[in-house]
Chains A and B, each alone.
Chain A
Amino acid sequence: MAKKQKPTESANSPRIYEASLGRDGAVKKGNKITQAQAVALRRIGKDVVVCGPDLAANRDLAKAIEGNANGRWKRCPPHPNAGAHALPHYQPDPRPPDGHTFYETPNRKAK
């Protein structure tokens, strides 16, 4: 009898990391975390980032995290002066809490 295969993460699946803001608006990746951990971090105002090559998948997962954590959200594109590594993000609307759910795009990556 064939063994049940564990579902594996495809290379295109978005991954979630703790995040912090570096110089010039760059978003720095920390430890890899689960979606539930990301929601918990966002509830206390910490930053998280969704990484991967698929813009729509990253954006949808980031939206789900922010929505579950803080309810009403808005999606903010990068400010023109925030630097080449600044990422679009979700944030509560209105604040608090602080922090952002960032997501990568094909041209903008976390460090």
Chain B
Amino acid sequence: MKYFSAESYVRFNENDGQEADTAHTAWERAILEYRRYLKEHRDMMPTRVRMLAEKTCLHDALLLGRQMHRSVGQNGVDSRRLLTIGLQLGGETIVLNYFLCDSPKEFKPKKDWPFSKDQLHWLYDEVAVNEDGHTATAPPSFVHRVLLSDGSELEIPFIDLILDRFRLRTSQDVLAVASRANENSGRRKRRAKSG
């Protein structure tokens, strides 16, 4: 992570007033610098990548799981690789589908990570344009860096992604649908009787 690192998050949690103030100022400055970076590079990003970089906030989403999918070509070489990450945020399930251009990396947390490692969730993330190898004919690739609540960091090199959102149906939603169905059925019966 370049802007929102595990170290700056730990510093933000300092108990001492002055250190906490300094960390607060540093974090706000990092937000401004990251926004400036995105503004300078937004023309290189397809719409879906731009949405992820500029509009999507997955902070506090519970990590449900992640899986790599490979499609092997005729010559036995991986031709396409896809990474899916499932998250739950409020009443929504979110699935991130990355079309990879290289292998994702995971960086283990430091031993002195001071926060709980239970209930793994998403903390902060940043998108960067990988300008190496970008030419007029070769489209740019991107890197999504994610800080997780156990202090580990993911680095996902990708060329495009699809983000799907599904609304979770709660037991209350199901009861409301059943209640409306009962009302409609009662109305139909009364109409049939009176008719």
A95 beta carbon closer than 8 Å to chain B: yes
B64 beta carbon closer than 8 Å to chain A: no
**Contact of B17 with A79 in the complex, beta carbons under 8 Å:** no
Q: Which size class do A's interface residues fall under?
A: 20 to 34
Given contacts A88-B24, A105-B24, contact A77 B34 (CB under 8 A): no
B54 beta carbon closer than 8 Å to chain A: yes
- A residues near B31, Cβ cutoff 8 Å: 78, 80
A67 to B118: give the CA distance in the assembly, Å. Answer: 19
Stretch at the interface among A1-9, A38-46, A68-76: A68-76
- B residues near A29, Cβ cutoff 8 Å: none
- B residues near A94, Cβ cutoff 8 Å: 116, 118-119, 149
Given contacts A80-B4, A81-B54, contact A56 B116 (CB under 8 A): no
Q: Which residue of A77, A81, A105 contacts B55 across the interface (Cβ within 8 Å)?
A: A81
Which residue of chain A is the closest to B20 with respect to CB atoms? A59
Q: Mark A11-47, 1 if CB is under 8 A from B, else 0.
A: 0000000000000010000000000000000000000
Which residue of chain B is the closest to A79 with respect to CB atoms? B59
CB-defined A-B contacts under 8 Å, sample of 26 = A55-B24, A56-B20, A60-B17, A74-B13, A75-B13, A76-B12, A76-B59, A76-B60, A77-B9, A77-B12, A77-B27, A78-B27, A78-B31, A79-B57, A80-B3, A80-B31, A80-B124, A81-B57, A82-B59, A86-B57, A88-B24, A93-B115, A94-B116, A94-B118, A94-B119, A94-B149
